């Protein structure tokens, strides 16, 4: 009780001066590319995979017990089940839910017509223009959390903005959680790599939010991958048992490189992802009916030259539109896409691939977009400049999705035509004077001046401007307010856990 009221007071004073819409309320219609015949065929394949091929749930006897109690058919560790039954279980998950942030102004709605952008997740390396490419460390991690907190176009902190490789694997989740909870007041995810780390994540969230708030709200989610094809290991099922049992949420994203973890076919790979995710969703609802679940999809195409994964290519771009439509029919919030690229640096390749990937992610209606900013090298590296460049572009998507086309009387500007002759100009018209300051999105990193002016200012490319931007942002960083007692409680928890845990580097 004491904790709850602390947290509740805390949230009232934590509103700092960084403007951001907490999430996008989409007003554009969805773009459905599949006709009825295609839909029927795709869903028949999903059902066939669930009923005939089955999904293995491995190395977690508890998970098999849960399936068995529910009456599923178990063959070794392979679960096969009537697709209708699985889909009905999935319908118990909410179409839309709120994840509370410790600053209530930053709480996000996930699902329905809401869209939320979060940064890259999981890269072992970082890169910036001055420091070059290197292993991620705690300092980089914290700087990335700060930049995400400060950027108005990122709604959510994600979690592993880079791997802090200078902290033992067994303990780093504690420092990472502490960074998200204290350096930012945006919502974030928790650890999943081991059951005890998931447990630490929800325990620390309880310190911040209080037991009662946590019992009645989603305040933290875990993000896990299946072991495609058609395999779910205990990392997934244990994370679900920890997060969902406490009423918290889970994101499950089959990561499929078509031709390797799925057939060399976008169609087959998308349906496989759908089948895997629906089976895991059903499992999550057996653990806790009504637990928030986000259906994930992460599909990559392949380079013929080397078998390397490729990003921003037509197959994954198309798959975003397809999975969007399938997820809406299943009634589940969707995670897909991101600003993805195989490029090593923030060159034109990185931007072309990221933009095509993200444009389709946006239109597909992805409700939660991990990797919306900062991704390089197929996810192996977090780029500091890339984070800021992508985030700048996200503001454009925010305007497209959230505002659509204005058809108010003011938008039609009829009075302006009374002021301007044929061939004249609207620069000084009353309508322009009233509207020019809000009519256009101002991208901060795009240079739109003429070539002479651009040369005078040093012929900078976007990467150099992004470097300037994020280094300046860090000098201006101010932490959001947090009550000392909550901070102390978090520190006490971490100190105790660090004593209990051995140093381990794997």
303 near a second copy (CB under 8 A): yes
378 near a second copy (CB under 8 A): yes
Ranges within 417-476 binding a second copy (CB under 8 A): 417, 420, 422-427, 429, 431-432, 435-437, 439-443, 445-451, 453-454, 459, 461-463
Which of 291, 296, 238, 253 is closest to 89 using CA atoms?
A: 291
Q: Please state the closest distance from residue 84 (CB atom) to a second copy, in A.
A: 20
500 near a second copy (CB under 8 A): no
Neighbours of 455 (CB within 10 A): 11
DSSP class of residue 244 equals G
36 near a second copy (CB under 8 A): no
Neighbours of 133 (CB within 10 A): 15
Q: Please state the closest distance from residue 225 (CB atom) to a second copy, in A.
A: 12
Spatial distance between the Cα atoms of 181 and 482, rounded to a whole number of angstroms: 9
170 near a second copy (CB under 8 A): no
108 near a second copy (CB under 8 A): no
The residue among 238 and 356 lying less far from a second copy, judged by its C-beta, is 356
Which of 210, 107, 151 is closest to 466 using CA atoms?
A: 151
Longest dimension (CA), the chain: 80
Q: Please state the closest distance from residue 199 (CB atom) to a second copy, in A.
A: 26
Which of 177, 119, 173, 107 is closest to 144 using CA atoms?
A: 119
Binding track over 118-157 against a second copy, x by CB under 8 A:
---------------x------------------------
The residue among 10 and 238 lying less far from a second copy, judged by its C-beta, is 238
Number of residues in contact with a second copy under rule CB under 8 A: 124
* Interface residue with a second copy, options 15, 18, 70, 345 (CB under 8 A): 345
Percentages helix, strand, coil for the chain (3-state, rounded to 5) are: 50, 15, 35
Ranges within 258-277 binding a second copy (CB under 8 A): 258-268, 271
400 near a second copy (CB under 8 A): yes
Which of 203, 211, 210, 161 is closest to 186 using CA atoms?
A: 161
Q: Please state the closest distance from residue 232 (CB atom) to a second copy, in A.
A: 9
Spatial distance between the Cα atoms of 110 and 114, rounded to a whole number of angstroms: 6
39 in helix, strand or coil?
helix
Spatial distance between the Cα atoms of 4 and 215, rounded to a whole number of angstroms: 11
Options 6-14, 54-62, 475-483, 496-504: segment touching a second copy (CB under 8 A)? 54-62
Residues 144, 374: contact at Cβ < 8 Å? yes
- Please, which residues bridge with residue 299 across strands? 256
Burial 3-21 (b: 16+ CB within 10 A, else e): beebbeebbeebeeebebe
Options 111-119, 134-142, 153-161, 392-400: segment touching a second copy (CB under 8 A)? 392-400
Which runs of consecutive H residues, i.e. helices, occur in 49-168? 61-70, 83-90, 138-150
Q: Please state the closest distance from residue 317 (CB atom) to a second copy, in A.
A: 6
Strands 24-25 and 73-75, sheet pairing: unpaired
Calculated CA dihedral for residues 149, 150, 153, 157, nearest 10 degrees: -10
Q: Please state the closest distance from residue 412 (CB atom) to a second copy, in A.
A: 5
Options 63-71, 105-113, 313-321, 492-500: segment touching a second copy (CB under 8 A)? 313-321
* Interface residue with a second copy, options 56, 252, 291, 482 (CB under 8 A): 56
Ranges within 219-248 binding a second copy (CB under 8 A): 227, 229-231
331 in helix, strand or coil?
coil
* Interface residue with a second copy, options 354, 361, 367, 382 (CB under 8 A): 354
The residue among 424 and 479 lying less far from a second copy, judged by its C-beta, is 424
The residue among 245 and 443 lying less far from a second copy, judged by its C-beta, is 443
Residues 155, 108: contact at Cβ < 8 Å? yes
Ranges within 355-374 binding a second copy (CB under 8 A): 355-356, 359-360, 363
Q: Please state the closest distance from residue 49 (CB atom) to a second copy, in A.
A: 7
Options 156-164, 196-204, 244-252, 350-358: segment touching a second copy (CB under 8 A)? 350-358
404 near a second copy (CB under 8 A): yes
349 near a second copy (CB under 8 A): yes
Question: Cβ contacts of residue 150 below 8 Å, gap of 6+?
Answer: 18, 473, 476, 477
């Amino acid at each position: 009780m004491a904790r709850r009221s602390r947290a509740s007071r805390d949230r009232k004073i934590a509103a700092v001066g960084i403007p951001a819409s907490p999430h996008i309320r989409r007003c554009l219609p969805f773009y459905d590319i599949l006709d009825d015949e295609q839909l029927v065929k795709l869903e028949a394949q999903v059902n066939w995979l669930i009923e005939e091929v089955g999904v293995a749930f491995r190395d977690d006897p508890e998970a098999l017990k849960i399936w068995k109690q529910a009456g599923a058919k178990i063959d070794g560790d392979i679960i096969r089940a009537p697709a209708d039954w699985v889909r009905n279980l999935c319908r118990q998950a909410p179409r839309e839910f709120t994840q509370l942030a410790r600053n209530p102004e930053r709480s996000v709605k996930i699902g329905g017509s809401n869209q939320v952008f979060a940064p890259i997740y999981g890269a072992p390396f970082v890169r910036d223009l001055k420091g070059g490419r290197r292993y991620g460390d705690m300092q980089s991690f914290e700087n990335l959390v700060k930049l995400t907190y400060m950027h108005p176009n990122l709604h959510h902190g994600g979690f592993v903005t880079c791997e802090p490789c200078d902290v033992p694997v067994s303990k780093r989740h504690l420092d990472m959680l502490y960074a998200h909870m204290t350096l930012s007041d945006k919502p974030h995810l928790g650890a999943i790599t081991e059951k005890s780390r998931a447990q630490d994540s929800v325990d620390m969230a309880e310190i911040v939010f209080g037991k009662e708030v946590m019992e009645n709200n989603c305040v933290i989610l875990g993000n896990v991958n299946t072991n495609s094809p058609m395999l779910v290991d205990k990392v997934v099922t244990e994370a679900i048992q920890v997060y969902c049992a406490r009423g918290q949420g889970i994101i499950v994203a089959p990561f499929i490189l078509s031709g390797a973890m799925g057939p060399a076919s976008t169609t087959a790979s998308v349906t496989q992802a759908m089948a895997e995710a629906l089976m895991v969703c059903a499992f999550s609802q057996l653990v806790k009916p009504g637990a928030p679940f986000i259906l994930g999809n992460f599909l990559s195409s392949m380079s013929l030259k080397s078998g390397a994964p490729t990003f921003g290519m037509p197959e994954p771009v198309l798959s975003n539109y397809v999975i969007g439509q399938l997820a809406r029919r299943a009634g589940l919030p969707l995670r897909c896409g991101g600003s993805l690229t195989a490029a090593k640096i923030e060159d034109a390749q990185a931007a072309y691939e990221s933009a095509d990937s993200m444009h389709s992610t946006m239109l597909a209606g992805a409700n939660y977009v991990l990797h919306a900013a900062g991704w390089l090298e197929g996810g192996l590296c977090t780029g500091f400049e890339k984070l800021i460049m992508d985030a700048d572009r996200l503001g454009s998507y925010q305007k497209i999705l959230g505002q659509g086309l204005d058809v108010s009387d003011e938008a039609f500007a009829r009075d302006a035509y009374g002021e301007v002759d044929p061939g004249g100009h609207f620069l000084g018209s009353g309508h322009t004077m009233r509207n020019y300051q809000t009519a256009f999105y101002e991208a901060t990193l795009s240079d739109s001046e003429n070539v002479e002016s651009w040369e005078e200012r040093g012929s900078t490319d976007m990467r150099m401007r992004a470097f300037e931007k994020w280094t300046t942002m860090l000098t201006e960083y101010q932490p959001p307010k947090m009550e000392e007692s909550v901070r102390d409680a978090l520190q006490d928890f971490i100190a105790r856990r660090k004593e209990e845990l051995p140093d381990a580097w794997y």
